[in-house]
Amino acid sequence: MTTQTTTPDTTGAPTPGAPTSGLLGIPAPAARALATGGSLLTIAATFLAWTWTSAFPGDLTVYGYPGGLQVLVLIGGALTTLLALASYDIKGLRRLTPAGADAAVKLAALATFATAWYTVLAISVELGGVVNLEPGGYLVATTSLATLLGALALPFRRPEPDPIDPDSTGWEKFTHRLTHAWHTTKAAFASGTPRPVRELPSYAEILIIVGILALGLVVFTYGIGTSYDELFVGFLILAGLGFAALNKAGLIAQASQITARHQNITLFGAFIAAALFPFTQTDDQYATLGVYILIFATVALGLNIVVGLAGLLDLGYVAFLGVGAYAASLVSGSPSSPFHVHFPFWAAVIVGALASLVFGVLIGAPTLRLRGDYLAIVTLGFGEIFRITANNLDGTSGPDLTNGSNGISSIPNLDVLGLDFGAAHDIAGFTIGRFANYFFLMLLITAVVVLVFRRSGNSRIGRAWVAIREDETAALAMGINGFRVKLIAFAVGACLAGLAGTVQAHVTYTVTPEQYLFAGAIPPNSAFLLAAVVLGGMGTIAGPLIGAALLFLIPNKLQFLGDYQLFAFGVALILLMRFRPEGLIPNRRRQLEFHDEADAPAALGKTGA
């Protein structure tokens, strides 16, 4: 039985009622030492050879220089070491764990252990047994396991029970103890709130923002540029559990507070960081993924107006992307177009955006008086009607407009102000290829969409959208014209999707009906767009952008799983929704929806971007 005494908590301060040990019964000081020492030995093991042959990707045969998956284990070990040292309340490391260190150490140790053991098992399976391991492989398996055991033995913080009213009945006392037991268990796994720390000067917070954006660029560039499947799986394990560890430590919440105080600088810096991405690539191989991610993310941000702000469940939103793409392709000089005209890009953009806007009004006007599931069914039907109609406008089943299933092909590259987007260009000694050119163009359009979303969300109409989303009946009672407000949201969202569709048409060269399904293995489609908004964080700017990037990148990188690709992806989504239901970058309202009254102060302390 675990004894209850006064022992240091995760910050080093005495906490009455805290246990002397965690899950394994090891005393807290010994567990802390085991976690710290094990992580240091894990770091040392990454400088040894893990296998004798370079047949395993990454060449893990070198002594003194980590490579491939060893680098990921090294990063995980370093993170675990820092958090473990911070648990000793060492001066200078306190800011690393504003919400406490023990829970964060557990997750960091788990990230290191999972990455190390995945590598060891992959070597054994691919090369034919553990006999192919060198001493470094055995050592990292042992030390990462010891680190995890030490971390699991760290004590949980248990809050003191509220005093029981002596006048309470026996049943009330029982329910009080039951409620306290529930909150005690929940507190063991809940994210902590940053403890008060001395506020930094503005220049220091701006430097922190620069560091966060630089780290984000490095992580994204590394993830998108993983050259083999095993490395990407290891990256996913470390990134996912590492993010959870930083969140437990309170660093994510603290970073959100800092970026919220400097929103304009954060947005400007984020676009600068994104603009640097093509310069990190030596060819168009990964710039291709970059431009498709931007298209997907921009459309998801437009859908966020409809779903995140106005609360309208739209299951056919990808059709507006298709309308914009078809409209632009018909007037951009394609030989498959029956109009045989070639508009300049600015005119094609206007045509695509206006076409989607008109369709948004035409579809929204008769249907937006519906609510909830009925509206979702109607929008789902619109998405299918658009695809089937585009398939039938082939000159046989209907007028010759879209060339049927063959689509509009051979769409020429853009030529804006004499700049040929189909040709490579040299900028400051860097060669910028075709997809990098479209990446910069799409980044500019993304900036426009972000500006529209931000300005509209903070406007009077934006507040009306939120009121409709929260309680439409109450909003109508306060004099808001619900139908007009929802129609504006539908039209604006459709227009932004059409804007992205004009670029997609030129990037893909061909526009076909099969690109605009409700669901499929590869985005963009309506299901993935909705998932990007919900998982990223409804009602925020950064949420859908990050959600869309993850939902586009991960399926593309997991294609080696074959038939198990969607299964693994689905499991990842289930885990994310279980442990982060409010989204990766939630706003305050969404956080409060997923927290009870006891957790409300913690949720209010976190600010979404």
Instruction: Give the model's pLDDT for residue 357.
Output: 92
The DSSP output letter for 308 is I
**Which residues of the chain fall below pLDDT 50?**
1-20, 158-162, 164-165, 171-173, 176, 180-197, 597-609
Instruction: Give the model's pLDDT for residue 591.
Output: 64
The DSSP output letter for 305 is I
Helix (H) / strand (E) element for 8: namely: strand 7-8
Instruction: Note whether 276 and 484 are within 8 A (CB).
Output: no
222: number of Cβ within 10 Å: 16
Cα→Cα distances 116→41, 145, 181, 225, Å: 13, 9, 36, 21
Which residues are registered as beta bridge partners of 425? 432
- In one-letter notation, the amino acid at residue 43 is I
In whole angstroms, give the CA distance from residue 464 to residue 456.
Answer: 10
**Measured between alpha carbons, how far apart are the two ends of the chain, in Å?**
45
Helix (H) / strand (E) element for 77: namely: helix 69-86
312: number of Cβ within 10 Å: 27
Instruction: Note whether 32 and 147 are within 8 A (CB).
Output: no
Instruction: Give the model's pLDDT for residue 258.
Output: 87
Biggest CA pair distance of the chain: 87
Instruction: Give the model's pLDDT for residue 148.
Output: 92
In whole angstroms, give the CA distance from residue 19 to residue 68.
Answer: 40
Q: Which two tokens stand for residue 178?
A: 């039951």
In whole angstroms, give the CA distance from residue 60 to residue 201.
Answer: 44
Instruction: Give the model's pLDDT for residue 115.
Output: 95
In whole angstroms, give the CA distance from residue 36 to residue 24.
Answer: 17
Residue 479, phi then psi, degrees to nearest 5: 95, 5
In whole angstroms, give the CA distance from residue 319 to residue 306.
Answer: 14
Residue 444, phi then psi, degrees to nearest 5: -65, -45
Report residue 157 CA to chain centroid gap: 30
Residues 6+ apart with CB under 8 A from 477: none
**pLDDT > 90: percent of the chain:** 16
In whole angstroms, give the CA distance from residue 605 to residue 224.
Answer: 33
Among 392, 304, 348, CA closest to 501? 348
In whole angstroms, give the CA distance from residue 415 to residue 347.
Answer: 13
Domains of the chain with bracketed CATH: 19-160+230-249 (1.20.1440), 252-557+578-604 (1.10.3470)
Instruction: Give the model's pLDDT for residue 594.
Output: 59
In three state form, how does the secondary structure of 257-288 look? HHHHHCHHHHHHHHHHHHHHHHHHCCCCHHHH
575 burial type by CB count under 10 A (0-12 exposed, 13-18 middle, 19+ buried): exposed
In whole angstroms, give the CA distance from residue 561 to residue 274.
Answer: 29
Helix (H) / strand (E) element for 531: namely: helix 526-536
Instruction: Give the model's pLDDT for residue 533.
Output: 87
Among 76, 53, 111, 98, CA closest to 191? 98
**Tally of helices (H runs) and strands (E runs) in the chain:** 22, 6
In whole angstroms, give the CA distance from residue 537 to residue 59.
Answer: 39
Which residues are registered as beta bridge partners of 431? 426
Q: Which two tokens stand for residue 152?
A: 């699991």
In whole angstroms, give the CA distance from residue 248 to residue 107.
Answer: 8
Among 258, 305, 363, CA closest to 496? 305
Cα→Cα distances 529→300, 522, 536, Å: 5, 11, 10
Report residue 62 CA to chain centroid gap: 35
